[in-house]
């Protein structure tokens, strides 16, 4: 797979494409050890898994997208359609692409086949959305606070330049499957940070902006999402990769709770090491390794640009060429 653009990328294009490929790479790297705990990964890969090798519990082909990247692609396709017709509702467009994915109208799948991995909240939300086609009348309900909408929300941060629309679209796309406020606000905060990073804002200032937005959306200074951002500032990815998740900080052991995945991503983007070293360590922490890797990878790619993603990883990504092409197409020079 050749991922070389025909013309050099602008700095902004590099960050946009880097974010998309960083998410895909984190997902594909983590898929090989998904559901394994820190101890199991440490035993099998004492220095961390450093290559995209496929396999895992669901026997993934090398570099294949899991639901994280597939659903990110669905939102990306919605923004490409919005670019051609700005009067459309991007949340409804995204939801329709989610349904295509769920029903088997998707690259690399037998027509009509179900995805290998679908979260319970995602399944419930898509069932409702298929009947209403209304993002605000779908969702799995309050109390369902998994990371299934945070994992796919990246394109809004990359391609919606209006701050108010960014918040609204992030939250409405989340509502299709995850309408708990911890999920909808986490998506808005994450995308606010992404938008700052691709403007070449420093990671520290981008996280500051996300924290301020969390306080505004939760209408208090100690809300759950605000606390997750603050926690991310204190976490050490390297320490958790070495010792495992601190259950005092991460009561869910990094196994799919939206606030923990957001906190890990914040810690990752503030880690001054290379994208590769940080993502390898995020995966070493264990449990929901593909989604934690994907969400962190999106921020790291927006921070470091396309050159931060190792060439040996980029060469294996199922949607690598498509993500680069659409990312460049939708990003003003």
10 Å CB burial of residue 56 (0-12, 13-18, 19+) is middle
Q: Which two tokens stand for residue 325?
A: 């092409």
Q: Report d(CA 315, CA 148) in Å as an integer.
A: 26
CATH superfamily, domain 13-48+65-329, is ADP-ribosylation/Crystallin J1 (1.10.4080.10)
Place of tokens 């052991």: 253
Among 291, 296, 228, 288, which Cα is nearest to 255's?
Answer: 288
Q: Which two tokens stand for residue 250?
A: 């991460």
Q: What is the pLDDT along the chain (333 residues), one digit of tens a residue?
A: 446 556 799 999 999 999 999 999 999 999 999 999 999 999 999 999 999 999 999 999 999 999 999 999 999 999 999 999 999 999 999 999 999 999 999 999 999 999 988 988 999 999 999 999 999 999 878 889 999 999 999 999 999 999 999 999 999 999 999 999 999 999 999 999 999 999 999 999 999 999 999 999 999 889 999 999 999 999 999 999 999 998 888 998 999 999 999 999 999 999 999 999 999 999 999 999 999 999 999 999 999 999 999 999 999 999 999 999 999 999 987
Residue 6 Cα to chain centre, angstroms: 27
Q: Enumerate the known binding-site residues.
A: 66-68, 288, 290-291
Strand partners, 60: 55
Could you write out the three-class secondary structure of 237-255? Answer: HHHHHHHCCCCCCCCCCCC
Reading phi first (left if > 0) and then psi (alpha if -120 to 50, else beta), residue 117 is in: beta
Q: Enumerate the known binding-site residues for Mg(2+).
A: 66-68, 288, 290-291
Phi, psi of 37 (to 5 degrees): -80, 170
């Amino acid at each position: 797979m050749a991922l070389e653009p025909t013309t050099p990328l602008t700095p902004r294009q590099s960050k946009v494409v880097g974010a998309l490929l960083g998410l895909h790479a984190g997902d594909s790297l983590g898929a090989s050890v998904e559901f394994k705990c820190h101890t199991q990964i440490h035993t099998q890969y004492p220095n961390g898994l450093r290559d995209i090798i496929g396999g895992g519990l669901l026997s993934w082909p090398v570099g294949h997208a899991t639901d994280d990247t597939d659903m990110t692609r669905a939102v990306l396709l919605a923004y490409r359609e919005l670019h051609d017709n700005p009067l459309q509702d991007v949340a409804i467009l995204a939801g329709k692409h989610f349904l295509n994915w769920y029903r088997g109208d998707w690259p690399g799948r037998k027509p009509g086949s179900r995805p290998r991995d679908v979260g319970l909240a995602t399944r419930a939300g898509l069932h409702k959305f298929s009947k209403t086609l209304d993002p605000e009348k779908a969702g799995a309900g309050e109390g369902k606070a998994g990371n299934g909408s945070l994992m796919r929300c990246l394109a809004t941060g990359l391609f919606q330049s209006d701050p108010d629309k960014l918040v609204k679209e992030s939250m409405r796309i989340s509502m299709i499957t995850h309408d708990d406020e911890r999920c909808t606000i986490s998506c808005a905060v994450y995308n606010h940070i992404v938008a700052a990073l691709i403007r070449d804002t420093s990671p520290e200032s981008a996280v500051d902006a996300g924290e301020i937005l969390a306080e505004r959306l939760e209408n208090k200074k100690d809300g759950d999402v605000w606390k997750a951002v603050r926690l991310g500032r204190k976490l050490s990815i390297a320490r958790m990769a070495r010792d495992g998740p601190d259950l005092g900080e991460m009561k869910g052991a990094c196994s799919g709770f939206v606030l923990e995945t957001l906190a890990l991503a914040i810690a990752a983007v503030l880690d001054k090491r290379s994208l590769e070293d940080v993502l390898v360590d995020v995966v070493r922490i264990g449990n929901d390794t593909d989604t934690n890797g994907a969400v962190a990878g999106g921020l790291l790619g927006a921070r470091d640009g396309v050159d931060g993603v190792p060439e040996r990883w980029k060469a294996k990504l199922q949607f690598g060429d498509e993500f680069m092409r659409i990312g460049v197409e939708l990003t003003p020079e």
